[in-house]
Structure 1
Amino acid sequence: MDIEMKKYLTLLLSGMSLIGCASSDDLSLKQNILPLQTEVCCESASHFPWFRLQQNQDLDFELNASSPVNQFDGSKSYFSAFTFAQQSGLVEIRLRSLMLDGEVAIPQVELLDSEFNVVKTIDDAFTVKFSDAFAKNRYELTEKVDTVKTPYMIVYVKTSELGKKVVVPHPAKIRAQESGEPMPIVTDPTYLASNNGHFSLSVETITLSGYNQKSLVEAKPEEVAVVQKPAQPAIQAIPETQSYYHNAIRQAVESNNIDKALSLLDEAKALNIEGAQEVFVRAVNAK
């Protein structure tokens, strides 16, 4: 990082210290409103930043201010878009939305056909699962998907639930119920329904599709915030990808998420996306 950029970051981080004075409710309200103030990423679903899944895969990802935004059910939401493996037929997916830091994204899923028409919307099928050896408190969905009929999947937030309080039993109460012991006097964890969320997705291929039975949109650089070692992205950047990274870097700086902005900047450089550093510097300077 050059001297000029360090100077801007120092000034910006000094200003960020004032944010600690804001209440958690204020910050939650701000993050829930943010997608409404953000332009949609794409003209149509065919232009979404699709992430190509493998036949069998486990991955973690987030929906936050660095995610693309689009209109769903009359309201804007962050989203992640996935395309199933070309040779997968019937697959079983397990999607979890984790309850962390007093917040949770109540998820909604759309399954699309090869022409990007919504075939099925999944929302009420999610159930609340309590913390166990596999994951923390979460919303969880297990679903079988015929990927020949619906090769595309979109995960976004159920905006009608924003601000809702989700209360789950304290682990001590669950243990007492299971063991028959007296019920302890403890406070149940409460989570606020948010536009931001931490997700895990598991895909298992059960049957294979026939050769060339399923055609998919051309793979684009992996633009989902996946918490695992990603495959080597394509070097050639397309205009949509350039626009996505420029907007994501600006939004990360504007929301004072400098670590995310720098991470996006590194990704953009790796993809040979022109103008990414200039966008970052201008965004910091504007702060």
Structure 2
Amino acid sequence: MNKKVFFIYGLLLLSGCSTFVDNQYKVAPAGKAVTQLEKAKQLPITMEKEIKIAVTAQTQVLDIYSIDSPGVIFDLPMVKNGLAINIEAEVNDSVFVPSAKVINQSGDIRAELDDEGLVYLKPRLADGNRLQGNIKVHPQIGDSSLYLVIFTDKDKLNETVAVSHPAKLDAEGRGNYFPEVGDIQVPRALTGKFSIEATALGARNNAQSIVLPALSATERPQQESVSFYHQAIRAAIADNDVDKAMGLLRDAEQLGITDADQVFRDAMKAQLDKK
């Protein structure tokens, strides 16, 4: 899928992007934490588009729903069959390790993601070291609005994230192996960059406006389809083709293969354990 990348710098002023930066994107008052959702700055989601965010010292600080950190809030579209949201955090000299909560208008939690749900992705093509996580949410009866809140765990700022040493990556690229080269420990921080991309569950690629009906209680995907997608997802991840694996995951979920996400996660962890 060709991605059009929008650069929205974390609820702060961004020069040169008048299409997205107007009064609604101004920073929160300096020195004040946001204690009510309705007073927080919110960004809209553009479906099937990668949105890049920079969390800086000027990003609003959230003090809501047991959150105490700079945070970004997205107003989610109400898609009948639900949303799959991919989150990737850039690992540089430090890393903003993302956690996420999806809440409704009353503050009820509909989905969550913490750092234990993240996996490490090695540099690939134009992308550097990244942490990746996925969160899925389905509107429930009584939900009039849904919000995605992305923040970091302030209590874990003394911890680090292990990434592969560049010399080791270079050796692996040449077919060599340097067992004596250890991982680099990158400190966690309250600032950093991440990206998100939201996809409607049940919608085919390049047809985001079409939301297919969910399977009824009596309909089940055939075992041949289940086996095919399980194997194809594992094979794509074994080939380090995460984009292909995610496309297969979306197609599998469209067919009602409910455990495809777990197969994806298990395959990612197994691949990382080999390194």
TM-score w.r.t. length of structure 1? 0.52
CA distance, structure 2, for counterparts of residue 93 and residue 74 of structure 1:
22
Q: 2:151 aligns with which of 150, 156, 159?
A: 156
Q: Deviations over 1:161-197 (max 9, x none)?
A: 1032222121332454576524176564331100001
Please state if 1:96 is matched with 2:88.
Answer: yes
Q: 1:71 aligns with which of 39, 58, 63?
A: 63
Q: Check the 8 A contact 1:103/1:193 in 2, yes or no.
A: yes
Greater relative contact order, per chain length (Cα 8 Å cut-off, separation 6+): 1
Q: Deviations over 1:218-238 (max 9, x none)?
A: xxxxxxxxxxxxxxxxxxxxx
CA distance, structure 2, for counterparts of residue 59 and residue 157 of structure 1:
18
In structure 2, the partner of 1:45 is: 37
Alignment of 1:1-287 (within 5 A): 38-41=31-34, 43-71=35-63, 76-87=68-79, 89-100=81-92, 102-123=93-114, 124-133=116-125, 135-147=127-139, 151-177=146-172, 181-183=176-178, 188-207=183-202, 208=211
Deviation at 1:157, TM superposition (A): 0.9
Distance of aligned partners of 1:182 and 1:157 in 2 relative to their CA distance in 1, 3 Å threshold: closer
CA distance, structure 1, for counterparts of residue 60 and residue 212 of structure 2:
30
CA distance, structure 2, for counterparts of residue 134 and residue 151 of structure 1:
33
In structure 1, the partner of 2:268 is: none
CA distance, structure 1, for counterparts of residue 83 and residue 111 of structure 2:
15
Deviation at 1:127, TM superposition (A): 1.3
Deviation at 1:69, TM superposition (A): 0.7
SS at match of 1:38: coil
Q: Check the 8 A contact 1:54/1:84 in 2, yes or no.
A: no
Deviation at 1:198, TM superposition (A): 0.3
CA distance, structure 1, for counterparts of residue 88 and residue 124 of structure 2:
13
CA distance, structure 2, for counterparts of residue 158 and residue 168 of structure 1:
19
CA distance, structure 1, for counterparts of residue 107 and residue 31 of structure 2:
23
SS at match of 1:103: coil
CA distance, structure 2, for counterparts of residue 158 and residue 95 of structure 1:
16
Deviation at 1:53, TM superposition (A): 0.8
Q: Deviations over 1:235-259 (max 9, x none)?
A: xxxxxxxxxxxxxxxxxxxxxxxxx
Distance of aligned partners of 1:47 and 1:75 in 2 relative to their CA distance in 1, 3 Å threshold: closer
Q: Check the 8 A contact 1:167/1:188 in 2, yes or no.
A: yes
Q: Deviations over 1:31-53 (max 9, x none)?
A: xxxxxx93212x42233212111
Deviation at 1:73, TM superposition (A): 6.8
Residue type at the aligned position of 2:84: E
CA distance, structure 2, for counterparts of residue 195 and residue 67 of structure 1:
10
Structure 2: tracts of 5 or more residues without a match: 1-29, 203-210, 214-275
Give the stretch that moved more between structures: 52-61 or 142-151.
142-151
Q: Check the 8 A contact 1:55/1:84 in 2, yes or no.
A: no
Between structure 1 and structure 2, the one with the greater Rg is: 1
Deviation at 1:65, TM superposition (A): 1.4
Q: Percent identity, please.
A: 16
CA distance, structure 2, for counterparts of residue 75 and residue 114 of structure 1:
17
Q: Check the 8 A contact 1:126/1:140 in 2, yes or no.
A: yes
CA distance, structure 1, for counterparts of residue 137 and residue 66 of structure 2:
26
Count of residues paired in the alignment: 172
SS at match of 2:151: strand
Distance of aligned partners of 1:87 and 1:165 in 2 relative to their CA distance in 1, 3 Å threshold: closer
Q: Check the 8 A contact 1:55/1:88 in 2, yes or no.
A: no
